[in-house]
């Protein structure tokens, strides 16, 4: 197990390290062409090499420390729809547990969630990273069972990579209520969970809502949809709040520039009409455990 985890971390971390090395050399070459950086700084200069190695090491050490810090995002949602009492929801996405994020790391996240004393916990997909095997070997299902509130989740694209039937079985073993193109009434809430768009046969949102239209009008409606495409659909169907993930906000600059150009909203709070959205950068991460210009987060939302 430790060998697989080491290989995974080293192989995936090298992708990000190489990206930054390429960026650094492109900047140096551009500076040389513009006569801003002297040629002798670049060619056969051991001092430049030493400075670059130390600089890259310090940068990625910071990026790893920054990733391990989990940011607590506080939201407040006020509704005119009836509530028997104020609610606290803890929401997270993109945990990516497995070879990359171990049970020890997951345990720390569960402690953060329980410390909020939520009424419900909502997870917007990608609980599993790539393989279901490490979750079974480390019995991570029992770790999820420590959450002191009902847990509801939708599927993400990585659940399909891990094998959809096995992923669904893990959800059951972990005590997680999977919402797959379904709507359920939970206390004062109407929770809707969409299947991931990896499934080309998933139901349209309008079809899911059609069977619960009376509840949408009378109950606070929260939608879980892993990938934040076509945000107008939630607005059109009268959803009060949509929670999504998937983008990771690019994980690292300058990839974050790409995600911002791809999505209507790639990160943070957003609003269309009377529908509010939050697109999370994720609690966990894919690939190297680094964050530069982005953050790892969980969301605490008080509903009044």
186-195 pLDDT tens trace: 888 889 999 9
Residues 6+ apart with CB under 8 A from 286: 12, 94, 96, 100, 129, 158, 248, 251
Hey, where are the domains in the chain? 2-67, 70-303
Widest CA span in the chain: 73
Query: CB–CB of 77/303 below 8 Å?
Result: yes
pLDDT at residue 224, rounded to an integer: 95
Q: What are phi and psi of 238, to 5 degrees?
A: 75, 20
pLDDT at residue 52, rounded to an integer: 80
The rounded distance, in Å, linking the Cα atoms of 302 and 304 is 6
Confidence of residue 12 (pLDDT cuts 50, 70, 90): low
pLDDT at residue 7, rounded to an integer: 62
Mean pLDDT, the chain, as a whole number? Answer: 85
Beta strands 182-186; 189-193: pairing state: antiparallel
pLDDT at residue 99, rounded to an integer: 81
The rounded distance, in Å, linking the Cα atoms of 5 and 79 is 45
pLDDT at residue 57, rounded to an integer: 83
Percent of the chain residues topping a pLDDT of 70: 92
Helix (H) or strand (E) holding 151: strand 151-154
3-state helix, strand, coil in the chain (%, to 5): 40, 20, 35
Measure the CA dihedral 88/242/93/14, to 10°: -140
Name the residue among 301, 300, 295 with its Cα closest to residue 62.
Answer: 295
pLDDT at residue 213, rounded to an integer: 67
pLDDT at residue 1, rounded to an integer: 59
Check residues 235 and 137 and name the one with the higher pLDDT: 235
Confidence of residue 10 (pLDDT cuts 50, 70, 90): low
pLDDT at residue 2, rounded to an integer: 57
Q: Which of 27-31, 83-87, 202-206 has the lowest mean pLDDT?
A: 27-31
What residues form DSSP beta bridges with 89?
120, 301
pLDDT at residue 9, rounded to an integer: 60
Name the residue among 301, 228, 242, 302 with its Cα closest to residue 271.
Answer: 242
Confidence of residue 243 (pLDDT cuts 50, 70, 90): very high
19-45 pLDDT tens trace: 778 887 787 778 777 777 777 667 667
The rounded distance, in Å, linking the Cα atoms of 175 and 170 is 9
Query: Domain 70-303's class?
Result: alpha beta
């Amino acid at each position: 197990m430790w060998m697989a985890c080491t290989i995974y971390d080293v192989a995936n971390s090298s992708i990000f390290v190489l990206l930054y090395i390429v960026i650094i050399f492109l900047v140096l070459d551009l500076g040389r062409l513009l006569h801003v950086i002297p040629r002798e700084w670049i060619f056969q200069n051991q001092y430049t090499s030493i400075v670059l190695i130390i600089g890259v090491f310090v940068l990625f050490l910071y990026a790893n420390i920054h990733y391990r810090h989990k940011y607590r995002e506080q939201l407040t949602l006020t509704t005119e729809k009836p509530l028997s009492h104020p609610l606290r929801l803890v929401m997270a996405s993109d945990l990516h547990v497995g070879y990359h994020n171990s049970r020890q790391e997951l345990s720390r996240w569960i402690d953060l969630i329980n410390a909020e004393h939520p009424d419900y916990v909502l997870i917007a997909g990608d609980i599993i990273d790539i393989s279901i095997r490490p979750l079974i070997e480390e019995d991570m299902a029992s770790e999820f069972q420590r959450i002191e509130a009902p847990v509801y989740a939708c599927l993400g694209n990585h659940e399909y990579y891990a094998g959809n039937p096995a992923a669904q079985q893990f959800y059951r073993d972990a005590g997680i209520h999977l919402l797959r193109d379904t709507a359920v009434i939970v206390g004062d809430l109407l929770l809707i969970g969409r299947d991931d768009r990896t499934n080309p046969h998933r139901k349209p949102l309008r079809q899911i809502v059609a069977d619960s239209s009376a509840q949408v009008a009378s109950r606070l409606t929260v939608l879980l949809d892993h990938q934040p495409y076509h945000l107008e659909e939630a607005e059109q169907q009268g959803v009060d709040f949509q929670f999504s993930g998937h983008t990771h906000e690019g994980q690292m600059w300058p990839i974050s520039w790409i995600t911002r150009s791809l999505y209507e909203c790639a990160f943070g709070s957003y609003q269309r009409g009377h529908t509010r959205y939050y697109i999370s950068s994720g609690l966990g991460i894919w690939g190297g455990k680094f964050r530069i210009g982005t953050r790892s987060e969980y969301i605490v939302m008080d509903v009044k």
